[in-house]
Amino acid sequence: MKTASIIMILGSLLLLGLFKFPLWNIMLGAPQYPDPLGMNIYIDGIKGVEEFDLQNIDGINHYIGMKTIPKPEEMWEFSVFPKVILGMSVLGVIIGLLGFFGKVSYKFFLGWFVLMAVLGLLGMYDFNNWLISYGSDLDPNAIIKVTNPDGSPMSYKPPLFGFQKLLNFDVTSLPHIGGYLMFVGMLLTLIASWLGRKASLKTSTA
């Protein structure tokens, strides 16, 4: 159980990487952009990969009537996400410490993982909703209006995960370092639960 608790603490601490590294990254390449434009999505805001990328993405998007990329103060998520991540990390460390001293069982580890997974899914759902709104809530007076074959306006929603072609842009959306650290951290807490369970089964059979 001690090993499991240490892994639990480590896993929870890895979440803190999100304060330093981006959670997600979206790159936009085009014939005119051999060096693609890119945005890094942090839990507290969106930043350009290069200094002027956001300005240039907004500049291009104004032709198709997309809203500008939100500033941190324009989305509640960017103030709530850091609190949730910090809270979950602290909670994970506390559970880990309690486990280390034998105060709680592995079930709390699993509980933390399930809670984090639910919160993560909610976050992804919310993020996807924003992408939909960002890509389809277009200015009716947009300079360029592109429609689907059925006549409905084309959506410029970037993919949540993976690659998509949007007009002249090749858009790739993938997790970034902070996101990978979070996944590894969550995996570690799951391993911690499993190790904890194995240890408790050993004690009960002994």
Partner 1 sequence: MKNILQTTIALVVILIGFTSCNNSENSKGKSGALASNVAEKVYVAPGEHDSHYAFISGGYSGNLTVYGLPSGRMFKEIPVFSQFPTNGYGYSEETKPLLETSYGFIPWDDSHHPDISQTNGKLDGRWVFINGNNTPRIARISLTTFETEEIIEVPNSAGNHSSSFITENTEYVVAGTRFSVPVPQRDMPIKDYKGNFKGALTFISVDPEHGHMDIKFQILMPGFNYDLSHPGRGKSHGWFFFTTYNTEEASSLLEVNASQNDKDFIAAINWKKIEEYVNNGGGRMMPTNYAHNVHDEATHTATSTMKKEVRVVDPADIPGAIYLLPTPKSPHGCDVDPSGEYIVGNGKLSANLTVHSFTKMLDAIEKKKFDGDAYGIPILKFEDVLAGSVEQPGLGPLHTEFDGKGNAYTTFFISSEVVKWKLGTWEVLDRKPTYYSVGHLTIPGGNSREPFGKYMFAMNKITKDRYLPTGPEMEHSAQLYDISGDKMELLIDFPTHGEPHYAAAIPAEIIKNNSKKIYRLAENKHPRKTTTDAETKVVRDGKNVHVYMAMIRSHFSPDNIEGIKVGDKVFFHLTNLEQDFDVPHGFAMIGANNAELLVAPGQTRTLTWEPKQVGVWPFYCTDFCSALHQEMQGYVRVSPADSNIQLSWSLGD
Q: By the criterion CB under 8 A, which residues form the site for partner 1?
A: 35, 51-52, 55-56, 59, 63, 143-144
* Nearer of residues 59 and 87 to partner 1, judged by Cβ: 59
CA gap 188, 111 in Å, rounded: 14
| Residue closer to partner 1 (CB basis): 141 or 205 | 141
Least Cβ distance, residue 165 to partner 1 (angstroms): 18
Q: How far apart are CA 47 and CA 190, in angstroms?
A: 32
Q: How far is the CB of 143 from partner 1 (least distance, A)?
A: 6
Q: In 3D, which of 41, 46, 45, 43 has the Cα closest to residue 24?
A: 41
Contacts of 173 (CB under 8 A, 6+ apart): 24, 25, 26, 27, 158, 159, 160, 161, 162, 163, 164
Least spacing, CB of residue 32 vs partner 1, in Å:
9
Tokens of 142: 């947009």
For residue 41, what is the DSSP state?
A: E
Residue 168: CB minimum distance to partner 1, A: 10
Q: Which is nearer to partner 1, 165 or 203 (CB)?
A: 165
The residue (of 29 and 82) whose beta carbon lies closer to partner 1 is 29
